[in-house]
Amino acid sequence: MASESARNDFLVDLLALQQDGKQAISAPTNWTTEEPLLEVSTEIDDIVNELGTSILLGGNRIKPARWHFFIGSPGNGKSAAMGKLCRYLLRERGCQIKDEQGCPIQELESTAVPYALDVYEGDNKYVSARIVQDASVVRNPFSPDIDPASELISTLREAWDKGISLIICTNRGVLEKAHRDNHTNGEVNKETWFRILASVVKSTPTVDGKLKGEREFRGRKTVFPRVKITYSHLDNRSLLLGKDIFDRLIQKAVDPGHWKACSECSAEDLCPFKGNRDWLHSSSGREKFLAILRRAEAFSGQIIVFREALALISLILAGCPRDYGNDHPCTWVQGKAESGDVFSLALRRIYMSLFASFAPFGLEPTPSIRKKQIDAFRRLEEEIPNNGQEFKAILGRVIRDQPPSTDVGTTRLLGEEGILAQMDPCRESLPSSFYDIWDGNYRLIQENDNPLLTTIERRCAEAWAFLEQAMESIHDHAVFEAHWALRRWSSNFLLHLGALIEGRTAWAKELDEFLQLLEVAVKSPDSRTIEEKRSLRELDERLEALLDTGNDGRQELGSVQLSEAVTLLGRWVRDKLKPRTVASEQPGSLALSIEFEGGERATLGAPMFLWLSRRARGKLDPRCFPPELLAGAIDARIRAAAKGKYAFEDNDVELVIASGRDEVFRLVRLDGDVDVRHE
């Protein structure tokens, strides 16, 4: 068992950040007692710092109140920002913060999740500000008519009548439903506070913004005379793209001060968490890791939110709490090291956590295939000679013991069908030189002096080498099964090890190009290099070629398929309906936009870009292109054609119409007349 002196309690603190941990969701009950374990400054901090002053009256009866809307999906830092705001109000401004029943925030029960918190300045008996830290929560969860949107309407009305400051944290759906349910209600839709809601709902999802002008409160005894309205959209706020927030979170977690206790542990060289810490402390190792996560964001089209980022860091550096019960993570590591259970430790290495955490002991995740693997290992176990009892015991644990948990949370990223599994480098053909280094010779792994490798990898390679040698004593057909089972097993570890060291994923080249294009598109044309301009032009040409391809796979330049029976052709189409790749209208977006004349737009995400790139570089039949990826661009082009009034052009416009009876008619505009030809 691990001694007290060998325990690193920072690992226990990290476990609280996992999705079922007590710090996974920032809530009022821990805002005043616990500082965030991993806290780094972000743009939200600037907003919160400013709100800390602007929502308070401060004795100035003529200053405006402040209404601010934090809009975003769960896990992107809204509640954590409110925690920081409340700590500031309590500690720096001497405010009282109570729930709606008057209970101070410091005295709330551990399970309490109040709908709203009221801020009192000093000893004031009246409220200056109200904070709704999660508008998807309702005041009475047992009510038969639960509706967060109705609660929001009531909150806006009450805050307006009192003339107080208001902070709302919610997802866009609650705002939109509140607006949708009431915009035709004559008793509501004329109210100033409802028009504020309508303006926020209609606002372009930018990082932050404000409504023009200030609104006058009309009540007799309002706290503030008027109100200023601002909002922040958080869903496009990446921690990775153009930011170093994720990087700084990691560096805070791997700071040497948190890992001093590990130097006293006898199992340090076999600890996957200490090895993972050293990996992420290495600038090259950390950069490859972050590069893969950037690709994951682009590939999925969805940012990795704070909650996911913290849970991922926690898993890599502290493992899965399901493995420990009431034990300490260090106790688990020490026990596995003493018993020689090297493959349980190996499963918690960073490369397996990313790409194969769902594979028990690193074996096949599909139960039926894994059973064949284990059956082959049983036959191999019988042939292990007496001088190999250590390796026989290792194999026996894999055959019969319970593996570490494969349910490690962050399923969207790490699940068997998750983003990183879809980007597994083994899904593509890797260079032969890569296989030679990482999957060709176990001795090369044992002798590899790369500092990112640990004793764990060398012990695993030693075991695989011995087991492969033991197969030579098998003289029947079972040797083939054993060889297959062993190589599939070792490859699952070693290929993922090499992939992370080299920063490989499926579609790595295309995804990196897409990420570069995202950066190029937001630049002004004058600031782009000639290479950057060329890359956008080439993308436009690829897209135009694909859009000009008919359902039969044949290409006709300058064509728009208006319907199954009608195709629009001609020089007018080529000149007026060229696609142009531009930045998305949403700052921080993980997609580009395709723009046509008239301002019609469609989204160009990473999946479409991957297909375009593969078609441009290979011999992919255009009919293989998933039609749903092009649907948005096709519709936008058709809308642009309608706006362009092609029907009123005198020249350079043709319509090809299929009658459905094996007849085709071509209508050509010539100096205002129509030439009809039967083909």
φ, ψ for residue 657 (rounded to 5)? -120, 125
Statement to judge: residues 477 and 532 lie in one domain = no
Q: Which of 25-34, 341-350, 460-469 has the lowest mean pLDDT?
A: 25-34
Q: Last residue of some domain: 484, 506, 528?
A: 506
What local confidence, expressed as pLDDT, does residue 2 receive?
A: 43
d(CA 265, CA 482): 37
Rounded mean pLDDT of 202-224? 83
User: What pLDDT is recorded for position 162?
Assistant: 94
Tell whether 223 and 200 lie within a shared domain: yes
Helix (H) or strand (E) holding 593: strand 592-595
Q: Are residues 327 and 206 in the same domain?
A: no
Residue 209 is predicted with a pLDDT of 83
Is residue 175 included in any domain, yes or no? yes
pLDDT in tens, 229-264: 999 888 778 899 888 999 999 999 999 999 999 998
Helices (H), 503-581: 508-521, 530-547, 571-576
Unique residue bearing structure tokens 């939110």: 305
Asked if residue 322 belongs to a domain, the reply is yes
Domain membership flag for residue 206: yes
26-39 per-position pLDDT tens digit: 677 778 776 788 88
What average pLDDT does range 12-36 have in this prediction?
78
Higher pLDDT, 330 or 107: 330
Please give the Cα distance from 675 to 679 (Å, whole number). Answer: 13
Q: In what order do the strands lie in the sheet with 664-670?
A: 559-561, 566-569, 654-658, 664-670, 673-678
Q: Are residues 294 and 430 in the same domain?
A: yes
Question: Residue 476 pLDDT > 70, yes or no?
Answer: no
Looking at residue 282, its pLDDT comes to 97
Q: Which of 470, 485, 506 represents a domain boundary (last residue)?
A: 506
Which range, of 235-239, 609-613, 617-621, 654-658, averages the lowest pLDDT? 617-621
Is 70 exceeded by the pLDDT of residue 551? no
Span 669-677, mean pLDDT? 87
Asked whether the predicted pLDDT for residue 587 surpasses 70, the reply is no
Which of left, alpha, beta for 555 (phi over 0: left; psi -120 to 50: alpha)? beta
- Specify whether 77 is located in the same domain as 169: yes
Structure tokens at 426: 């083994």
Residues 545, 416: one domain? no
Model confidence pTM above 0.85: yes
Residues in the chain: 679
Same domain flag for 135 and 115? yes
- At 1, is the pLDDT very low, low, confident or very high (cuts 50, 70, 90)? very low
Average of per-residue pLDDT values in the chain = 89
473 with 598, same domain: the answer is: no
In a domain, 304, yes or no: yes
Residue 204 clears pLDDT 80, i.e. is over it: no
Residue 59 three-state SS: coil
Q: In terms of domains, do 457 and 554 share one? A: no
Which pLDDT score, from 0 to 100, does residue 672 have? 85
Helix axes 530-547, 606-617, angle to 10 degrees: 90
pLDDT at 659: 79
Between 203 and 95, name the one with better pLDDT: 95
Q: What pLDDT is attached to residue 442?
A: 92
Using a pLDDT cut of 70, give the percent of the chain over it. 94
Tokens of 248: 């700084």
Q: Which residues pair with 336 in a beta bridge?
A: none
Q: Which amino acid belongs to residue 222?
A: T
Give the pLDDT confidence score for residue 553 in this predicted structure: 53
Question: In percent, how much of the chain has pLDDT > 90?
Answer: 56
pLDDT at 3 exceeding the cut of 70: no
Report which of residues 313 and 542 the model is more confident about.
313
Beta pairing, strands 601-604 & 592-595: antiparallel
Q: Is the per-residue pLDDT at 588 higher than 70?
A: no
Across the range 543-564, mean pLDDT stands at: 72
Between 356 and 662, where is the model more confident?
A: 356
Helix (H) or strand (E) holding 637: helix 627-643
- pLDDT value for 554: 58
* 359 within a domain of the structure (yes/no): yes
In a domain, 103, yes or no: yes
Is 253 found in the same domain as 211?
A: no
* 549 & 570 share domain: yes
In a domain, 240, yes or no: no
Query: Band of the pLDDT at 550, cuts 50, 70, 90?
Result: low
Domain that holds residue 588: 510-639
Q: From 179, 201, 233, give the residue that closes a domain.
A: 233
Give bridge partners of residue 208 from the DSSP assignment: 232
How many folded domains does the chain comprise?
A: 3
> Alpha helix locations (H) across 16-97?
28-31, 43-54, 78-91
Distance CA 397, CA 288 (A): 33
Check if the beta carbon of residue 310 is closer than 8 Å to that of residue 283: no
Confidence (pLDDT) at 304 = 93
- Does the pLDDT at position 185 exceed 50? yes
pLDDT level of residue 373 (50, 70, 90 thresholds)? very high
Together in a domain, 318 and 192: no
Give me the pLDDT at residue 5, please: 53
**Is 610 inside any structural domain?**
yes
| Confidence (pLDDT) at 74 | 79
Average pLDDT rounded to a whole number, residues 620-644: 83
* Overall average pLDDT of the 89-113 stretch: 89
What pLDDT digit, counting tens, does each position of 512-542 carry?
999 999 999 988 999 999 999 999 999 998 8
**pLDDT tens sequence across 32-63:** 776 788 888 888 888 999 999 999 998 888 99
418-456 per-position pLDDT tens digit? 999 999 999 988 899 999 999 878 999 999 999 999 999
At 481 the pLDDT is 84
Indicate if the pLDDT at residue 491 is higher than 70: yes
